[in-house]
Structure 1
Amino acid sequence: MSIQNLRERLGALKKEARNLIENKGSATWTKEEQGKFDELMDEAERVENQIEAVQRLMDNEAEDSFRDAKKKERGEKVDPAMAAFENYLRKMGNRLTPQELEAIRNTMSTTTGSEGGYTVQPIVASTLIEALKDFGAMRRQASRVVTTNGSDLSYPSTDGTSEEGEIVAQNASAADADVAFGTVPLNTFKFGSKVVTVPIELLQDSNIDVVALVNGRLRERIGRIQNRMFTTGTGTGQPYGLTVAASVGKIGATGQTLTVAYDDLVDLQDSIDPAYQVDGLGWMFSQAVRRVVRKIKDTAGRPIWTPSYDEGMAVRRPDFLLGQPVEINNHMPAPAANAKSISYGDHSKYMIRDAMEVTIFRFEDSAYLKKGQVGFLAWARAGGNLLDTNGTKTYQHSAT
């Protein structure tokens, strides 16, 4: 079965499950109806796993054979900086004309040129950084700030949840209540792509969009490591991850090292201060947690999970849990003793900082050329931290 057929099958299963929920409304569910819903969700999970396996196989084949190499659009206008970057990617150093070398040096910093690398212009760096959200849930949900360099930075934060006004008598003076500002560190860390090798034939093929090809490989690798660090980073030699910076809103009862109960999810929602109970709240957890929570029923036996489906396969719509959207992030911890496996709240309170200092190295020594390849390595600087711990809370499993 093709991956398209699998996706259509998944959409049909989710649609049937959603219709079952909508048709029952607020009525109490029978055991047969609960069983039917669980069967649909079990089958949906099997299809999702199959889609993931097929996609992973396709990605691995594309990685090995470069079958995903895009063709250049004819007649497309190219920015001079991007043209110089393309020449840098395509041509051996000894084959660049004096004019091409000058263009590269004029448009790309030569601070590392003696070692074969260049700190690329912001217009080049942005093509790499902007697409990183495709490789991680954190960038899809978090806020973002861009700086021109990676110097240490303290970002202002404030907590106004306990502030309150007053009643003032006639001719009396208003009381002072200065806003208390704090700071959270938003320092950057250097993320490396590891060396990406590209066959010389592809670099020599003028019909191949080599910029998209190389950038695609680099950002996949950097995107994945950044998402993991923004999720679980310790703050020591790496960013403060969401699960480390966020406070715990609910701890599971003894025995819930691998499970979560309906009441736990309700309590986690209610642990968010009413001041934050506005649009933008949502859940974040891994597929391992999804297997647990999407079979939970409320006191009337109704599923608390509302599956969504992509009508026409054109728009990605999240599933809902207790009325709020779910973002799947497989770097969130799996259920385990003391693990913070679920996050709920306003995840835009997490701030990602990107420094536009992206350095790219080209390797064309004998270790690569004897295999008919050229190597590329990117360094990108980024950091992250949760600016307001009141806006996001986590569920922590019991210790025993």
Structure 2
Amino acid sequence: MVRSAVPFVSAVALLAGIGTAHADIVIGLGTATTGPVAALGEQTVYGAKQAIEDINAKGGVLGQKLVLRVGDDACDPRQAVAVANQFVREKVAAVVGHLCSGATIPASEVYQEEGVVMITPTATNPLLTAKGYPNIFRVCGRDDQQGVVAGEYLLQNFKGKTIAVVDDKQAYGKGLADVVAQTLEKGGMKVAYRGSVTAGEKDFSSLVTSLKDKGVNAVYYGGYHPELGLMVRQAQEQGLKAQFIAGDGLNNSEFWSITGPAGEGTLYTDSPSAANDPKAKQLIESFKKAGLPEPGNFAFYAYSAVQVAAEGLKKAGAVDNKKLADALHSGSFDTVVGQIEFDKKGDVVKPAYVMYVWKDGKNVELATK
């Protein structure tokens, strides 16, 4: 598994690639460059980096260049608060981040108190925007939207079958799994097994045994790829023939590295891929040059969050927190993932989710009936 150890101070030089020029307008990126989901964090860093390079190549913002400042929170709530406080002390113009819902929610409290604009590209838990803070935004959808798509898929394709719902006890995973379970119950399907694992756990033999004993036909997992990859592999080894389904935390090539052929057919929900959009070409080429796998939505949405911040600053006409927040609430922004507009709570208007399937080591959009 990839472990990208990127210290806070040296992140710009090592990853952002912007150089050591005068820091005209600083954009903070709160993400995980270490820890279990560092591979996802790496995608957000390269996505944000490319966006800043592209914007600077076209003249920057308000006559100044943008500079990326990366803070590693390892998807840990306490570390995320420390990163947020550091960004506040450094008076960043805006924050793109954080990556995980469990880290983003406590960090958002710091930004709210200090008035700093935060735009997360990936945190999907509804609680993030539930308080309606005027300076907190997200360019992705929410779990109560994504989870419904997965739940309805199960209702349509596994009617009369035995379903299990499992989560990793974290804000993102549990929140998503709860919505799936609620959707199933509303649709008249009883969840035969509802359980949890611990993030970082590696031995799922007891869980698999329980699922086999229940005669489970499909397993929905709320969590990230490291645990589900091991779960899928161990399920095959123990003879459990069940369909595994997850959320957008599975959009990473490391999943297949963990599972190998056992991952074939695993499903997950995510926003429609921006990979086929001509505007994504530079980002894809950047990943190739860096020797990285083709970027997924974590990279594209980080890119789009930087675009939104930059365009918001232009509309605001100054580096000013309140003016930027007002500009984001009143504007519509053309990004690599499409047109983005925010509602009163800072959620993106009309988010979309589709199903993907892992096939021959690649994640491809599942054809709808």
Give the TM-score taking structure 2 as reference length.
0.29
Give the TM-score taking structure 1 as reference length.
0.28
Relative contact order, higher structure (CA 8 A, sep 6+): 1
